[in-house]
Amino acid sequence: MNKSILFAWITSIIAMGGSLFFSEQMGFIPCTLCWYQRILMYPLVILLGIAFYKSDKEIYKYILPLSIIGMAMSSYHYTIQKIPAMQEFHTCTSGVPCSGQYINWFGFVTIPFLALSAFTIITISMIVLWKRK
């Protein structure tokens, strides 16, 4: 059993479940950047699940590109929310502004911050897997 893959898989499941909870239960409409982050996160649940089941220690080759792009996108989205000067450089094409903050726990935890945390945990787990190989 590989703990790095399991940890990354559980993280991706929690991230997917959280995003579905926010949209389906809380009624938060995802903005354009949120959709892109979901597009990057959701396949990780399936890929990491299969990798865990098959003990595939080469999965980092497929996961790292998705998780690193996800980290970059989440970081960009978070800066749009928290740095007012960044808002003028980005306009969402959907009805919900990307600068909107449905949640703002402790003054800094927003949905893109949660996505960034998940992508970072998954990236670190895959780097650990890569280095142990």
Which pair of tokens denotes residue 2? 């590989």
Sorted by sequence, the CB contacts under 8 Å of residue 44 that are 6+ apart come out as 8, 12, 63, 66, 67, 122
Cα pseudo-dihedral 77, 109, 36, 54, rounded to 10: 140
> Which domains, ranges and CATH numbers included, belong to the chain?
3-132 (1.20.1550)
The reported pTM is: 0.93
How does pLDDT run across 19-48, given as a tens digit for each residue?
A: 999 999 999 999 999 999 999 999 999 999
Cα–Cα distance, 7 to 19 (Å, whole number): 18
pLDDT of 133 strictly over 90: no
How does pLDDT run across 44-85, given as a tens digit for each residue?
A: 999 999 999 999 999 999 999 999 999 999 999 999 999 888
How does pLDDT run across 83-106, given as a tens digit for each residue?
A: 888 877 776 766 788 888 898 999
Residue 27 DSSP class:
-
To which H or E segment does residue 115 belong? helix 111-132
Cα–Cα distance, 75 to 112 (Å, whole number): 7
The pLDDT > 70 percentage for the chain reads 96
DSSP 41-97: HHHHHHHHHHHHHHT-TTTHHHHHHHHHHHHHHHHHHHHHHH-HHHHTT---SSSS-
